[in-house]
Structure 1
Amino acid sequence: MKPIYSLSIIASLAMLLSACHGHGHAPAPAIIDEQIPVTLVPVGTQAKQQPIQASGQFTTEDETMLSFKTGGVVDRILVKEGDRVRKGRLLATIHLTEINAQVRQADLTYQKAERDHARWASLFRDSVGTLEQVQNAQTTLSIARQQLGAARFNRAYAEIRAVSDGYVLKKLVGEGQMIGPGEPVLQINGARQTGWRLKVAVSDKEWSEIEMGAVAEIETDALAGQILKGTVLRKSKGTDAATGTFAVTISVQDGRSEALAAGLFGKAKIYAGGKSSTSTIPYDAVLDGDGADAYVFTTRDNRTAQKRKVKVGNIVHGTVTVIQGLETETAVIVAGNAYLKDGATIKVIK
C-alpha cells in the first residue's frame, strides 16, 4: 500500500506545479498611451489691407456738347478730335448768307420804325396826329428793336468757340452738312482745368465699405507699367438701372497726362480702409504642403493634438502667412509635430 501512497503524492504535486505554471501566464494589464513631448508657439496676427478692385472708363467733370444756336450749312470745322483748345478759340462756323440777310432785314425794319415814330410824334405835336397813333408807332419801334437784337444774337452764335481750356473729344458733323438748331457739332471736355476722373462700378457691399477720400491705385493700358494715384471723389446715391451696380468716381491726381483720353479703360484698387487679419506661424509648424494647402497641429487643452487644414500665403524669413484655417487658434505645435496624428496625446514642454 505504501507505493500507491507515494504515487498519489507525486500526482498531486504535479497538478500543483501545473496550476502554478498557468497562473504565471495570465493576460497583462492594458498599457496607457505614451505622451508625445511637443513644443508650442503662439500664432501671430498681422493686419492686411484688402483693396477693392473695380474697373471703368476715364472721363471729366465738364464734358460739353457744343452746337449752333440756329440751323444752317456747316462752313468750317477748325479742329479735329484730340486737339487741345483754349477758352475762346474759334472751333466751327456755319454759312452766314441767310443769317446776315435776317440781320439786315431786321435792321431795315428797325430803321423804318424809327422814322415812323418820329413822324407821328411830330404830327402829334402839331395837333394833327392822335396820341393813339404815336403810341402805336412807339410799340412798333420797340418790337423792331427786339427783333434786331435777336437777329444779331443768332449771328453771334453762328460760330462755336471753346467755353474752357480742354480737349476735343468728338467731331459729330462734317463741313457742308446741313444741321438743325441745337444739333451737337463737337464734344469737348475741361480736363486741363479739372483733371481726369475714373468712374468705376462696385457692388452694394463694396460701396458700403468705400469711404470718401479713400486712396486708389489706377492702371491703364495707355500707360503700361505706370500706376496713377487717385482718391475717391464721389459715391452715387442710387444703382444703375441696367447693371444694378453703384458708381464711384475717382479723382486722378496725375490726371493731367496727355496720354489719357475720355473713354479709355482703367482698373483701380481702392483701399477702402477696412482691414482683415491673417495669421503667421513658423515654417517648421507646417506639414504636408501642397500648393496653397497645408496642415498644422494645434491644441486647446495642452493634452490632445488636433490636425488642421490651412491655406498658406507668403513665406518670408522662415515665417509663413496663413490666410485661412487658424482664425480661432492661439498656438501651433512645432517640435514633435512630425510624430503626431490627429487626436494624439501630448505633453507640452515649456
Structure 2
Amino acid sequence: MHITRNPIFKRLIVVAIPVFLLVACRSKKTVEESSAFTLSDTMMAKCDFYKATMEPVKNEIRLFGKISADNNKLAQVYPVVGGVVTNINVELGDYVRQGQILATIRSTEIAQFQKERLDAMNDVAVSEKNLQVAKDLFAGKLNSEKDVIAAQKELQKTKAELNRVNEVYKIYNLKSGSIYNVVAPISGFVVTKKINQNEQIRSDNNEPLFSIAEINEVWALANVNESDISRIQEGYNAEVKTIAFPDKAYYGKIDKIFNAIDPETRSMKVLVKIPNADFKLKPEMNCTVAVRYIEDHQLVAVPASAIVFDKSKYWIMVFKDRHNIETRKVDVYRQVGDISYIKSGINAGETVISKNGLLVYDALND
C-alpha cells in the first residue's frame, strides 16, 4: 500500500522538534535551579567562617613525665633529738604554716641541752665575778694587769659558749622540759610523712620525718627520647595536662634541659615550670607535656574544625557566597592543636566554613 506524504505535515514536524527541545531545556534548567543549594539564614547563623592564611608551620612533640615540687621551695624536717612520738598534729596533704607544730617527741636528750645551757650560764656568772675581783685587786695593786686581761678573756669565752647554746635553742626551738616540738620551717603542703604515733625516733635517722613544699608553682619533669633530643630547645612553649584533670591545660616554657641520659630509660629530662594557683597539681602526678615549636617554612592554615574526613580523604567547604559553596579535597600536612596546615587544595585568602561544615557537606554531597 502506498502512503502519500503530506508536505505540510513534514513542516509541522520540523517546527515542532526545535520547540520541543527548547521546552525540554528550559524544564531541565528549571529543575537544576530548583535543586541548587542555598545556605539559609538559620544555617548561616549556625556557621562560622574563617579566611585561610599563610602561617609558619608549628610542630608538636608529646612527652610523658611527672609533676614535682620545686626543689627551691621544698623543706625536709629531720629529727633533732631521739625519743618517743607522743603526738602527731598533721597528715599527708595538709596545708601548714611556718612555725606550726607538726608533732611532739618526748626525749631525754632535751635534758642534756638544758644542762649545757645551765652550765654555760653559771660559767658566765663565775667569770664575771672573777673579772670584778681581778679588777679590785689590780686597783689595790695586789695583782697585775695581766691577771685582769686573763679574767676578761675567760669571760668572753664563757659568753661565747652561752651564745652558742642559746643559738641551738633558737634554731631547734627547744623549750624547758622533756618535750620537743617538731615545727614547720616553711608554709606549704605536707608531701611526705614518715612518722607514727608512739614510734621510737633516733636522732641519727637519715630520713626526714616530714617534707613540706610550696606548690603555688610546680615542675613538670618529662622524658625526651633520644630521637627527639635534637628537636628540643630551652624556651619552647609547653602545654601540660594530667590524668586527674584531663580537660584542664597548664602552660609554661622549657626552663631547663638536663644534659644527661638516663641509662635505664635511654631518655633525657626537661623541666617546665607551671603556675599552680589553684593547687590542683600535686607532686608525683603523671602528666603529658606537649612541646610546640615553629618549623622553617609556611603553609596555608585553617581551623582543624573546618576539615571533614570522608571516604578516606580530607575535604573542606570553600565559601564564596550563600549560593556558591564548593566541596574541595585538600592535602593535610599536619594538625597541631586546633590548627590544620594544608599542603594543597586551598589558597590563602579563601574563606572556609569552620563550624558546622559537616552539615553543609552532607547537604551538598548526599
TM class, shorter-length = 0.5 to 0.7
> Structure 1 257/97 Cα, relative in aligned 2: closer, same or farther at 3 Å?
same
Q: Hey, what does 1:151 align to over in structure 2?
A: 165
The percent identity for this pair of structures is: 19
Equivalent residues in 2 for 1:168-179, closer than 5 Å = 168-175=190-197, 176-179=199-202
Q: Distance in 1 between matches of 2:189 and 2:270?
A: 24
- Contact 1:63–1:189 under 8 Å retained in 2: yes
Q: Distance in 2 between matches of 1:221 and 1:235?
A: 24
Equivalent residues in 2 for 1:228-247, closer than 5 Å = 228-240=250-262, 242-247=264-269
Q: Hey, what does 2:286 align to over in structure 1?
A: 265
Q: Distance in 2 between matches of 1:51 and 1:168?
A: 35
Q: Per the alignment, in what secondary structure is the counterpart of residue 121 of structure 1?
A: helix
- CA drift of 1:204 comes to 4.3
- CA drift of 1:199 comes to 0.8
What one-letter code is carried by the residue in structure 1 that aligns with 2:75?
T
Count of matched residue positions in the alignment of Structure 1 and Structure 2: 251
Q: Hey, what does 1:142 align to over in structure 2?
A: 156
Q: Distance in 2 between matches of 1:102 and 1:168?
A: 34
- CA drift of 1:261 comes to 1.2
Q: Distance in 1 between matches of 2:192 and 2:210?
A: 6
> Structure 1 105/232 Cα, relative in aligned 2: closer, same or farther at 3 Å?
same
- CA drift of 1:218 comes to 1.7
Query: How much is the aligned-residue C-alpha RMSD, in angstroms?
Result: 3.6
- Contact 1:49–1:276 under 8 Å retained in 2: no
Q: Hey, what does 1:210 align to over in structure 2?
A: 232
**Residues 1:55 and 2:67 are matched in the alignment:** no
Which digits, 9 at most, give the CA deviation of each residue in 1:155-176, with x for residues without a partner?
2214554343321111223355
> Structure 1 313/210 Cα, relative in aligned 2: closer, same or farther at 3 Å?
farther
**Residues 1:72 and 2:95 are matched in the alignment:** no
Equivalent residues in 2 for 1:122-137, closer than 5 Å = 122-137=136-151
Q: Per the alignment, in what secondary structure is the counterpart of residue 104 of structure 1?
A: helix
- Contact 1:100–1:155 under 8 Å retained in 2: no
Q: Per the alignment, in what secondary structure is the counterpart of residue 262 of structure 1?
A: coil
**Residues 1:82 and 2:93 are matched in the alignment:** yes
- CA drift of 1:242 comes to 4.7
Q: Distance in 2 between matches of 1:275 and 1:56?
A: 28
> Structure 1 249/99 Cα, relative in aligned 2: closer, same or farther at 3 Å?
same
Which digits, 9 at most, give the CA deviation of each residue in 1:226-248, with x for residues without a partner?
33233222222333455442221
- CA drift of 1:330 comes to 9.1
Q: Per the alignment, in what secondary structure is the counterpart of residue 168 of structure 1?
A: strand
Instruction: Give the counterpart of 2:131 among 110, 113, 117.
Output: 117
- In structure 2, runs of 5+ residues without a counterpart are 1-53, 175-180, 302-308, 318-327, 335-342, 346-366
* Structure whose alpha-carbon radius of gyration is higher: 1
- Contact 1:313–1:322 under 8 Å retained in 2: no
Which digits, 9 at most, give the CA deviation of each residue in 1:74-103, with x for residues without a partner?
554432211112334343454443332332
What one-letter code is carried by the residue in structure 1 that aligns with 2:92?
E
Instruction: Give the counterpart of 2:213 among 182, 189, 198.
Output: 189
Q: Per the alignment, in what secondary structure is the counterpart of residue 128 of structure 1?
A: coil
